[in-house]
Structure 1
Amino acid sequence: MSESLNGKIAVITGAASGIGLATTEMLLRNGATVVMVDFNEAALKELTAKLGEKAIPQVTNLIDPESCAAMVPEILQKVDHIDILYCNAGTYIGGDLTETDAASIDRMLNLNVNAVMKNVHAVVPHMIERGTGDIVVTCSIAGHFPTFWEPVYASSKWAITCFVQTMRRQMIPHGVRVAQVSPGPVVSALLADWPEENLRKAKESGSLIDPSEVADALEFMLTRKRTVTIRDMLVLPTNFDRV
């Protein structure tokens, strides 16, 4: 038995492209209102004009501490409550550790880990007060095994797996579900930073999935009855393990 998303209010970070945009479109089709969070103001303006009045723009720079801290309070001035928080924004570093630099490592950990923790920290009191809510985070298959060609990225996703699964347990008494979705390689801007040889092999073998496949997984997770939590869903290209 599934529950309706009609009338729900969702917040999605990294909503202007890729998985975030595909999930926005899925939720709108299901009758939800979506607050689209992104730092790209021009893209948000164009997208919300096209998607209609149930798509609400929220310009936030998640790696700026003040902008990140202001996100939830600003959103609650635009909508009366938040049913769903989908922490999807992230970035990628591939290759050997010696090939990157300290500033890039800081930026990745700030966006992939710190911003997620801060966003969840900000919304949890609101959801606890209401006695309901859903928090979902985009993890990765890289958060489940040591991907040697992307140690910084994989480590950020291992951290997120731990955070999500500990918070899931903390929130059970409050009626708030916490979960993650762990895609394999998705056709998105992040692939531009993949090692060239890995990307070539993935393309040639059909080992990539579209963002809409991840959005479909989110639809299944969010429509389960409240007594059911899909704690993690791995969404892989069929040929992934042959890359």
Structure 2
Amino acid sequence: MQKCAIVTGAARGIGLATAKQFLEQGYVVSAVDRDEAELEKALGELGEGAIGLPYDISFPEKAEAMVTDTLASFGRIDALVNNAGVADFGPVEDTDFARWRRVMETNLDGVFLCSQAATPALRETKGAILNIASISGLRASTLRVAYGTSKAAVIHLTQQQAAELGEYGIRANCVCPGPVRTKLAMAVHTQDIIDAYHDAIPLNRYGTEEELANVITFLCSDKASYVTGQIVAVDGGFQSTGVGLPALRK
């Protein structure tokens, strides 16, 4: 039976690149995204071996349905990539509770719910959980009071998962992307921000979705069989030089 990966937030960006790499490596894939129209487009790119589940994983019943439907289609779960996230930035003073909850319910609650729902199946396969956080969860930056806090919580949640689920053979790791050249990032980053990032990143460029997917799929693979509880910044060295660009400030 082929190995199976679930990837949330799979309709675009890092999630889509990761789903493609899993398929290339011989996995079958459950591609999960609440944006049904974009998910349909993504399935056209993914082709055979992938199913689309148009679920909002911030709801417990949808996380459970994601697992139930995956097992019904593929019979097993070997990797869960918790990639779905909301990037909603704003100053501390302008972040009302509605914005705070909108970010937390997907970025943090969704990771918790999906991981919990998938744990029984992952116990059967001695599988892997891979959570996507951010360098904004490692170090504070401007306009990220909700986003950065949610990602910092994901980092700690990963270590909790590693500590408690290791006895079942389940590994849990976390990837913290730095600036990535996604369509969304390029649409919202001004030239000043792009230039500032290039100046601040030792490798002097944005990462690519494929470079993130390389690390994600590696950490889910048997080649990383003794790696768990690790927080890996995939950021061109950005964390080593600090976060908080003047161009991002008001």
What's the TM-score once normalised by structure 1's chain length? 0.87
User: CA RMSD of the aligned region, Å?
Assistant: 2.5
Paired position in structure 2 for 1:235: 234
Q: Distance in 2 between matches of 1:149 and 1:162?
A: 21
Deviations 1:98-139 (A, max 9, x none): 1233222111000000011010111112222x1511110001
**Counterpart contact for 1:179–1:232, Cα < 8 Å:** yes
Question: Shift in Å at residue 203 of structure 1?
Answer: 5.9
**Counterpart contact for 1:92–1:193, Cα < 8 Å:** no
Q: Distance in 2 between matches of 1:223 and 1:141?
A: 23
Paired position in structure 2 for 1:67: 62
Paired position in structure 2 for 1:211: 209
**Counterpart contact for 1:63–1:107, Cα < 8 Å:** no
Structure 1 SS opposite 2:72: coil
Q: Distance in 2 between matches of 1:40 and 1:171?
A: 31
After TM superposition, the structure 1 = structure 2 runs for residues 60-99 of structure 1, keeping only pairs within 5 Å, are: 60-99=55-94
What's the TM-score once normalised by structure 2's chain length? 0.84
Paired position in structure 1 for 2:146: 152
Deviations 1:79-100 (A, max 9, x none): 2111110000001132311123
Q: Distance in 2 between matches of 1:150 and 1:101?
A: 13
Q: Distance in 2 between matches of 1:79 and 1:54?
A: 10
1:163 aligns with 2:154: no
**Counterpart contact for 1:13–1:37, Cα < 8 Å:** yes
Question: Shift in Å at residue 194 of structure 1?
Answer: 6.2
Paired position in structure 2 for 1:143: 137
Q: Unmatched 5+ residue regions in structure 1?
A: 1-5
Q: Unmatched 5+ residue regions in structure 2?
A: 246-250
Structure 2 SS opposite 1:171: helix
**Counterpart contact for 1:207–1:238, Cα < 8 Å:** no
Percent identical residues: 30
Q: Distance in 2 between matches of 1:50 and 1:136?
A: 23
Q: Distance in 2 between matches of 1:123 and 1:58?
A: 15
Structure 1 SS opposite 2:6: strand
